[in-house]
Amino acid sequence: MYLYEKLVQEVSDFTVEIEKPANFDKFWDDTVSLAKEKLEFSLDKVNYPLKARVFKATIVGFGDTEIKGWYLLPEDSSKTYPVALVFHGYRGYASSPSVFASYLLNGIAVLAFDLRGQVGQSGDRGYESGHVPGWMNQGLDNPYECYYRRVLVDCLRMVDLAKSLPDLDSSRILVTGSSQGGGLALAVAALSDVALCIAGVPNMCYIEYGVLNSSSSLREVSEYLKLYPDKAPSYFDTLRYFDILNLADRIECPVLISVGMQDPVCLPKTVFAAYNRINTPKKILAYPFSGHDGGGSLFGKAAMEFTLAHFNL
């Protein structure tokens, strides 16, 4: 056996003893109920050089914040389509319709939104506590007020939007993304009724370890705690509500995950820790020579094959 094979083998069975907050289930029941309180949206058709039906989409998210994005459909209006609900990575945005052409070519509609406060056109406001530059460390004093609760309310309303649109098959909803988007896809799969989840190098897994060791967004938390170490217990208590370790056993749909064995952002140990808590049909693809690209086009091909097979396309 080669060393690169041993490295995968050594971490593949990694597990962590979980510590769920006492009111974990009530917190998520309250959050899901909040998400379902309203569904307000608009779709405006636009001209775009793509053989598809292209709409600018706006949905009203947490705190009546407008969340902006795209709704894309194949040209044939006589059919209903499965849909990919795509979540972008940290410091990203929903990009342009052409980025999602592979879905449209394979007969899959797309909903993709700019997550609140990040690089796209969706806003955010109103946190009571301070934070270092970035988004995910906002509101960590209180799980009901923190950034990722707001994002997940938005994301759950996106699922409800997908279920409400007449051109879409509500029984074939895929939630997908990479990095932050992969973590959100897993969380949404745990909190809603979707058909399929594909998570590339997911963040939000074994978060405490990530805060101490990751080179990217979770470093925001450690940078703030360097200044205010007395806040560490409350911050880590809040993060446990959003850790895929604690949400994984709620997932009921099939799951495909990728991990880059040289990833300094979403560390392999954290991804396997979450993956090994999932009890539904699942598959993980480990790429020994990949970093945060998580297999790049190789995983992209595998993910589309996985989608087509499950959606019978």
Q: pLDDT, tens digit, for every residue of 205-225?
A: 999 999 999 888 888 889 888
Q: What is the pLDDT of residues 151-182, one digit of tens each?
A: 999 999 999 999 999 999 999 999 999 999 99
Look up tokens 């909803």; give the residue.
Answer: 173
Can you name the residues that pair with 20 across neighbouring β-strands?
A: none
CA–CA distance, 288 with 96 (Å, rounded to integer): 31
**Measuring CA to CA, which residue among 242, 12, 31 is closest to residue 140?**
242
CA–CA distance, 54 with 76 (Å, rounded to integer): 12
CA atoms within 13 A on the CB side of 28: 18
In terms of C-beta density within 10 A (0-12 exposed, 13-18 middle, 19 or more buried), how is residue 129 classed? middle
Domains, the chain, with CATH or none: 3-310 (3.40.50.1820)
Single pTM value for the model: 0.96
Task: Spot the catalytic one: 88, 292, 293, 310.
Answer: 292
Task: Tell me the pLDDT band of 129, cut-offs 50, 70 and 90.
Answer: low
Task: Tell me the pLDDT band of 120, cut-offs 50, 70 and 90.
Answer: confident
Task: Spot the catalytic one: 170, 179, 217, 258.
Answer: 179
| pLDDT value at residue 276 | 98
**64 catalytic residue (yes or no):** no
Helix (H) or strand (E) holding 238: helix 232-242
**263 catalytic residue (yes or no):** yes
Mean pLDDT of the chain: 94
Task: Spot the catalytic one: 263, 290, 293, 310.
Answer: 263
> How big is the CA angle at 71 (ends 67 and 72), to the nearest 5 degrees?
155
pLDDT-wise least confident of 41-55, 72-86, 212-226, 254-268? 212-226
116 or 25, which is more confident: 25
Q: Give yes or no for residue 128 having a pLDDT over 60.
A: no
Helix (H) or strand (E) holding 148: helix 147-164
pLDDT-wise least confident of 54-58, 61-65, 204-208, 212-216? 212-216
**292 catalytic residue (yes or no):** yes
Q: What is the pLDDT of residues 5-22, one digit of tens each?
A: 888 999 999 999 888 999
CA–CA distance, 113 with 32 (Å, rounded to integer): 19
